[in-house]
Amino acid sequence: MSHTPDDGAHATTSTETVSGGNSTPLSIVLFVVLFGLFCAGLYLLSLGFGHYSAHWVNGTYFLGGLGAVLVALFGTFTVVPKFLT
């Protein structure tokens, strides 16, 4: 006793749409720019802890590095998801 399914009763149409994805060159450029900015900020933060004669230079490097790191993180987690969707 064999049972063959009725194709007409169980036929379904697939309406799934697949995203084309993001542009690879754009993703690479954004990665290089934001990662470079983040690394530069960390480098400037490290210079802020150096031993210079003028203490205001330390503070300037530190604040510049902190600003660069914060801009890189903001760009990574806020701007990029909105820009690439």
Residue 55: alpha-carbon gap to chain centroid = 35
pLDDT of residue 37: 97
pLDDT of residue 66: 95
Q: How many residues does the chain have?
A: 85
Flag whether the pTM goes above 0.85. Answer: no
Backbone angle region of 21, left / alpha / beta, with phi > 0 → left and psi within -120 to 50 → alpha: left
pLDDT of residue 52: 62
Q: Mean pLDDT of successive 10-residue segments in the chain (85 residues)?
A: 60 66 85 96 86 71 93 93 78
pLDDT of residue 1: 59
Q: Which two tokens stand for residue 35?
A: 């990662």
Backbone angle region of 23, left / alpha / beta, with phi > 0 → left and psi within -120 to 50 → alpha: beta
- Who contacts 37 (Cβ-Cβ below 8 Å, separation ≥6)? 68, 71, 72, 75
